[in-house]
A = this chain, B = another copy of it.
Amino acid sequence: MLDYKLLEALATVIECDGFERAGDALGLSQSAVSQRIKALEIRLGQPVLLRHPHLQPTPAGRRLLNHYQQVQLLERDLRGTLPTLEEASPRLRIALNADSLATWWADTIGRFCQSEGLLLDIVIEDQDVGLKRLRDGDVAACLCASAQPIAGARCVPLGKMLYHPCATPDYIERYFSQGLSADAFQRAPAIVFGPHDQLQHRFLAQVGYHGAFPYHLCPSSEGFLRLAAAGMGYGMMPWMQVAPWVEKGLLASLAPEQPLEIPLYWHFWRHSGQVLERLTQVLGEARLQ
């Protein structure tokens, strides 16, 4: 049997991003935490942590963390049937796309988390990195736009989100009064989430433009909206996020007839216990378009 105190030390060091903070969280000295990590590495015959360029688990460490999380979830189910075993609930670590978190996610699962006493550890990632984290065992579930299956995980379609290229009416008048022309796209600053963001390119391809364009980089859903509302650019935004802004006349779509449809999929490890199964059921009721 594994010594779960050692795994707990590893999980806490990663979660707290430091030995000293992990010690505080566990009520241990920093050196006691180090000793537990060392004991784990001796037991395993290889390192579980990398210190540089920043604190992170090795691939072996990740597999241990994944296992630890699964055991915690199973214990959670057990405690449901043996209430006297009560203990602080484990945090469920999941990767989400930023736009879901900024819109429908909390409203959909809030009541469920309250009634289950479930705590979340949310990581914001685009789909490629999110699925990689799931494969590495760093998260127990991943919500993203990719249907690509992961061995050992289930993939449930949740519907889709509609995206519109939005900007202020002033901005649209300034750059696009002649329509969605190549000349306009070459001059009008866009807002792009990050280097992996393909929404902007997909929208431009859809309207027949394939050239270069100026853009701001802004890795935040809320920041995206704020930059657009300040007249700094246009960007692809979830309709459910911008609709109230459009109703008030603060933002408008450049292409009201041509939204992009982005599907959403929920990937999660099988055999991680009932709480993930029940959460999946709640998500299925989200009724995205």
Residues of chain A having any CB pair with chain B under 8 Å: 15-18, 21, 25, 50, 53, 56, 88-89, 91, 96, 98, 101-103, 105-107, 109-111, 113-114, 117, 119-124, 189, 194-196, 212, 214-223, 226-227, 229-232
Given contacts A111-B231, A226-B107, A230-B107, contact A216 B101 (CB under 8 A): no
Residues on B with C-beta less than 8 A from A120 are 216-218, 227, 232
Provide 12 A-B residue pairs closer than 8 Å at the C-beta atoms, listed in order of the A residue.
A17-B196, A88-B214, A89-B214, A106-B227, A111-B230, A114-B231, A120-B216, A120-B232, A121-B217, A122-B220, A124-B223, A222-B222
Query: Are A217 and B91 closer than 8 Å at their CB atoms?
Result: yes
Q: How many copies of this chain does the complex contain?
A: 2
Query: Are B119 and A189 closer than 8 Å at their CB atoms?
Result: yes
Cα distance A220–B124 when bound, in Å? Answer: 8
Given contacts A53-B56, A124-B219, contact A110 B17 (CB under 8 A): no
Q: How far is the CB of A231 from chain B (nearest CB, A)?
A: 5
Query: Are B101 and A223 closer than 8 Å at their CB atoms?
Result: yes
Q: How far is the CB of A183 from chain B (nearest CB, A)?
A: 15
